[in-house]
Amino acid sequence: MLLFQMAVHAGEKMGKNGLKDTDSIATPIVSGTTHWSKSSGDLIAFKEGRRHSFEYGRYGNPTMKVLEDKISALERAESTLVTSSGMNAIVATLLALVPPGAGHVVTTTECYSEARAFIRDKLSKMGIKVTFVELNDMETLKAVLDQGDVTLFYTDCPTNPHLKCIDIKLVAELCHRKGALVCIDSTLASTINQKPLTIGADIVVHSATKYIAGHHDVIAGCISGSDALISRIRAWHHDLGGAISPDAAYMIIRGLKTMALRVETQNHTALRMARLLENHPKIERVYYPGLISSPWHHIAKSQMTGCGGVISFEVASDLHGVMRFIDALEIPFIATSLGGCESLVQQPAVMSFWGESDEEKAKNGIKDNLVRFSFGIEKFEDLRDDILQAPEKIYDYS
């Protein structure tokens, strides 16, 4: 399958800009922060675009460029900008594409909490209009778009932790009719399962910290889209100074080599576990768009080739019973994040929503008995046995 080939070779053997002067199979880490010219004429040739080179490390670097080309191939994008974190990618995109004092951003009530807080608390103070809509309330979205001033629609697909999906093609049609851009945070899908740019999105962002790097050991982000849009974001990003180090870029290139294998395993494990838990007497509800019973299944099926390694579920117990369920698990780490080789588990009520009011939790659909699982690449049978023994530990007999 071409995806596997691209994850391994794009940007390198298959790339135009690979590091040509070396026959090393692994892309070299170019650690220099600045690049020299042989003469002033040579420098002018570079400035005029007649000679391919690099100038200063904050603007780009050969190792970084290989990574950007690889992600472009996977997302089917003209251009990609790799950044120092997923949040840096999101903030750079919003600042570059939404004009202060005149812009209008529409986002959804469920989307990555820090991005949502940035839009709500910071963008709104820059004279940018901000509107929140329910993820699949297309009527409200249409009404907001009819105001005629929307610059950009931004959301995650799927969302976290309820794994809701938005119809990207439909939203893009509605937005484009009114001149608004569409930016999708596709982190939970990974570049393997979903290609938002091929179904109408203008920009796709990822927290590359998750599936793309894939080993819980690098923080990074990326933004992909047309040359025209990415160069606007790149110009802003040069000022923000969110370049990743060449070492981090290399770690991600290395991680990407196995991404298709990892994600394929994670897709299968998550789907099989979701089906098993859906019929388990101690589990009240499972959230996973790969389940036929999911209200998002038809959308997921139309735009994803797999639903990723994250599932959420509500255990038939209370806050403390679910804490005992989690503590009884032997394989996963109790930790936030997702998409790496190691399985992670968390109870949002004591992790991301710790200290939040009951009202805030209710508003976000966070019940005390909600568990979020990010499957790693351990064997399905081992994870299954581990998860199926844990409900026995819910009850405190002491």
Closer to ligand PLP by CB, 90 or 394: give it.
Answer: 90
108-137 positions binding ligand PLP, by CB under 6 A: 112
Closer to ligand PLP by CB, 27 or 374: give it.
Answer: 374
Closer to ligand PLP by CB, 193 or 209: give it.
Answer: 209
Place of tokens 């939203």: 171
Query: Binding residue for ligand PLP (CB under 6 A) from 4, 9, 85, 132?
Result: 85
Query: Binding residue for ligand PLP (CB under 6 A) from 61, 63, 79, 160?
Result: 160
Sign for the CA dihedral angle at 152, 153, 157, 162 comes to positive
> Angle formed by the axes of helices 227-240 and 86-97, to 10°?
110
Closer to ligand PLP by CB, 269 or 374: give it.
Answer: 374
Can you read off the two tokens belonging to residue 381? 């049978």
**Total residues in contact with ligand PLP, by rule CB under 6 A:** 14
329-388 positions binding ligand PLP, by CB under 6 A: none
> Angle formed by the axes of helices 259-278 and 2-9, to 10°?
130
164-223 positions binding ligand PLP, by CB under 6 A: 185, 187-188, 207, 209-210, 219, 221
H or E element, residue 190: helix 190-193
Nearest distance from C-beta of residue 395 to ligand PLP, angstroms: 33
Closer to ligand PLP by CB, 89 or 96: give it.
Answer: 89
Nearest distance from C-beta of residue 137 to ligand PLP, angstroms: 21
H or E element, residue 79: strand 79-83
Q: What phi-psi label fits residue 220: left (phi over 0), alpha (psi between -120 and 50 degrees) or beta? A: beta
Q: What whole-number distance in Å separates Cα of residue 312 and Cα of residue 372? A: 4
Q: What whole-number distance in Å separates Cα of residue 52 and Cα of residue 201? A: 30
Q: What whole-number distance in Å separates Cα of residue 364 and Cα of residue 342? A: 27
Nearest distance from C-beta of residue 48 to ligand PLP, angstroms: 36
Residue 50: exposed, middle, or buried by beta-carbon count in 10 A (0-12, 13-18, 19+)? exposed
- Asked whether position 87 contacts ligand PLP by CB under 6 A, the answer is yes
Nearest distance from C-beta of residue 344 to ligand PLP, angstroms: 12
Q: Which residues bind ligand PLP (CB under 6 A)?
A: 85-87, 112, 156, 160, 185, 187-188, 207, 209-210, 219, 221
